[in-house]
Structure 1
Amino acid sequence: MKIQVLNKGLFSLIIDNGRVGRQRDGFCESGPMDSSAYDWANFLAFNLDGTPCIEAIGEMQLQVDEECIIAVTGREPELSIDGRPISPYQSQKVPAGAIITFGCALLGSKAYLAICGNWQVPKAVGSACTVVREQLGGIDGKGSVLKDGDCIEVFANTRIKDSDKMRTLPTHLIDDYGFLEAIRVVPGYQFSCFSTVAVRTFETSTYTVSSAIDRMGFRFTGESVTADMENMRSEAIHLGAIQVPGDGQPIVMMRDRQTLGGYPKLGCVSPCDINRLAQAVPGEKVNFIFQNEEEARVDWLLMTSRRRRLQGEIL
């Protein structure tokens, strides 16, 4: 089966779970900006975990030449097939020759399209995930984003395609992406280098998502916080790490972050909240709250067990 890109939208690329564990070799982690939406898209499309899919900003349009099953997820995603609106967050059979249009209503948020089957895209360093800066992954294996006219080949799963059983995630169980008033943060390596006043300022201030956001990191504007240290050696950066450069404006590091960084880190966004933050758009207001490691661990276990339970109920 061939999927032709008719309109790439503002920015679209092929992603999968990324190059987890390869930072030690100099490669960025990569992967989906919103791993929750990505995981749900593949689950609803009857794919295995880690199957490639499309991450898109703006309205994207594709055409398929065979019948297939798809699923679209993200922050307030919209989907239509041949101009007919379809509810997202569910399995959907698409007839041969149909035109799929999808994207997020909120410009800047990410939508995910999963197509049931085996994607025929090259892997580099164990992943098909596109990283433009490193010229890795994507449709050509060289880090190219999708463009109009591109053609992706997927070997459709005929056993699933012929089944009448579809999957749906109820609306009330979809992540609440609009709730940004309490983004949880675990204190970081250099937390003790920030004064009590600086920590209090960070936790009680409202920050605005700036226009300087991309897959590497999100820069925020608001009350300045500075560390009581002048120099530090560069060290590994975790997903969600909050670096504070000299101007005191925090930067949350995202999927395509560099492997090393030399700014002091106030903390790290909880894995339970990083997906919501990754879907934020310029101008939105964010508040951060601190929690300890044990609280973060419990939250993570509860979230992952809830997802497994929901998937078991949907099967």
Structure 2
Amino acid sequence: MKVEVLDKGMFSLIVDSGRVGRQRDGFCESGPMDSQAYHWANFLAFNLDGTPCIEAIGEMELQVDQDCVIAVTGREPSLLINGESAEVYQTYAVEAGSHIRFGSKLLGSKTYLAICGNWQVPKVVGSACTVVREKLGGLDGKGSALVKGDCFKISANTKPKEKPELRVLPQQYREDYGFVESIRVVPGYQYSSFSRVAVRAFETSTYTVSTSIDRMGFRLTGESVASDMVRMRSEAIHLGAIQVPGDGQPIVMMCDRQTLGGYPKLGCVSPCDISRLAQAVPGEKVNFTFQNEEEARADWLLMTSRRRRLEGEIL
């Protein structure tokens, strides 16, 4: 099956589960910004974990030349098939020649399109993820985002059932992308270098997501929380690490972060909340609360256990 890009939207990339374990070789981990939406898109489209899909900002449009099965997820996602509204967060059968238009109702958030089958796209350093900054991945292997006219192939079932098996993620189990609840943070290596006043200010203040956000990091504006460290050696940076440069304004490191950083880190966003934060758009307000590593681990195990149980109920 051939897939052709008719409208690239604002910014669209091919992503998969990322270059896990390659930071030591100088490659950023990359991967989907919203790993929860990415996972559900592939699950609902009958794909294996790690299968590539498209992460899009803005409305993107594709055309497929064979029958296929798709799923669209994300924050406030929308889906049109040949101009007609279609359901999101569920399996959807698409006929040959159809135009698939998808995006988010909230400008700046991410939407994920999964198409059932084996994606025939190049892999660089073991991953199909596109990293524009490092010029890695993409259809050209040089880190280029998708553009109008791009084509790629997917080995898919060309004769699906008339009524394919339906998988639906009920509304009550979908990610809550609001920020009424605080973002959980595990204290970082340099936590003790921040005064009690600075830590208290961080935890009790409201921060605004600035316009300086991308797949590398989210810069926040609000109460200053500068560390008393003057110099430190660069060290590896984990997904969600909250670096604090000299101006005291926190930066949350995201999927395409650099491998090393020399700013003190106040903490690291819990893996349970990083997808929610990744869907924030400029101007939104967020709050943070600290939890210890054991609480964070328990939350993660509980979340993954619930997801696996839910998958079993959907099957």
TM interval, short-chain normalised: over 0.9
- Letter of the structure 2 residue corresponding to residue 206 of structure 1: T
What secondary structure sits across from 2:192 in the alignment? Answer: helix
Contact residue 14 and residue 52 of structure 1 kept, 8 A: yes
Q: What is the distance in 2 between the residues matched to 1:7 and 1:161?
A: 29
1:20-169 correspondence runs (5 A): 20-158=20-158, 164-169=164-169
Could you tell me which residue of structure 2 aligns to residue 232 of structure 1?
232
Contact residue 180 and residue 276 of structure 1 kept, 8 A: no
Could you tell me which residue of structure 2 aligns to residue 187 of structure 1?
187
Q: What is the distance in 1 between the residues matched to 2:249 and 2:236?
A: 20
Q: What is the distance in 2 between the residues matched to 1:57 and 1:161?
A: 32
- Letter of the structure 1 residue corresponding to residue 229 of structure 2: M
- Letter of the structure 1 residue corresponding to residue 155 of structure 2: F
* Cα distance change of structure 1 residues 161 and 223 upon mapping to structure 2, 3 Å threshold: farther
Encode CA deviations 1:265-313: one digit per residue, 9 max, x unaligned: 0000000000000000000000000000000000000000000001010
1:260-275 correspondence runs (5 A): 260-275=260-275
Encode CA deviations 1:204-245: one digit per residue, 9 max, x unaligned: 000000000000000000000111110000000000000000
Q: What is the distance in 1 between the residues matched to 2:208 and 2:301?
A: 30
* Cα distance change of structure 1 residues 166 and 122 upon mapping to structure 2, 3 Å threshold: same
Segments of 5+ residues of structure 1 without an aligned counterpart are: none
TM-score for the superposition, normalised by structure 1: 0.98
Q: What is the distance in 2 between the residues matched to 1:114 and 1:140?
A: 20
Segments of 5+ residues of structure 2 without an aligned counterpart are: none
Encode CA deviations 1:90-115: one digit per residue, 9 max, x unaligned: 00000000100000110110000000
Q: What is the distance in 2 between the residues matched to 1:154 and 1:15?
A: 15
Q: What is the distance in 1 between the residues matched to 2:162 and 2:17?
A: 28
How far apart are residue 179 of structure 1 and its match?
Answer: 2.8
Could you tell me which residue of structure 1 aligns to residue 199 of structure 2?
199
Could you tell me which residue of structure 1 aligns to residue 19 of structure 2?
19
Q: What is the distance in 2 between the residues matched to 1:99 and 1:110?
A: 20
TM-score for the superposition, normalised by structure 2: 0.98
- Letter of the structure 2 residue corresponding to residue 307 of structure 1: R
Q: CA RMSD in A?
A: 1.1
Divergent runs of 4+, >3 A: 157-163
Contact residue 118 and residue 157 of structure 1 kept, 8 A: no
What secondary structure sits across from 2:297 in the alignment? Answer: helix
How far apart are residue 138 of structure 1 and its match?
Answer: 1.2
Q: What is the distance in 1 between the residues matched to 2:34 and 2:196?
A: 32
Encode CA deviations 1:33-80: one digit per residue, 9 max, x unaligned: 000000000000000000000000000001110000000000010001
| Percent identical residues | 77
* Cα distance change of structure 1 residues 305 and 159 upon mapping to structure 2, 3 Å threshold: farther
Could you tell me which residue of structure 1 aligns to residue 279 of structure 2?
279
* Cα distance change of structure 1 residues 180 and 128 upon mapping to structure 2, 3 Å threshold: farther
Q: What is the distance in 2 between the residues matched to 1:48 and 1:92?
A: 17
How far apart are residue 181 of structure 1 and its match?
Answer: 3.5
Q: What is the distance in 2 between the residues matched to 1:55 and 1:5?
A: 13
Contact residue 69 and residue 161 of structure 1 kept, 8 A: no
How far apart are residue 161 of structure 1 and its match?
Answer: 5.7
* Cα distance change of structure 1 residues 258 and 53 upon mapping to structure 2, 3 Å threshold: same
Q: What is the distance in 2 between the residues matched to 1:161 and 1:37?
A: 26
- Letter of the structure 1 residue corresponding to residue 11 of structure 2: F
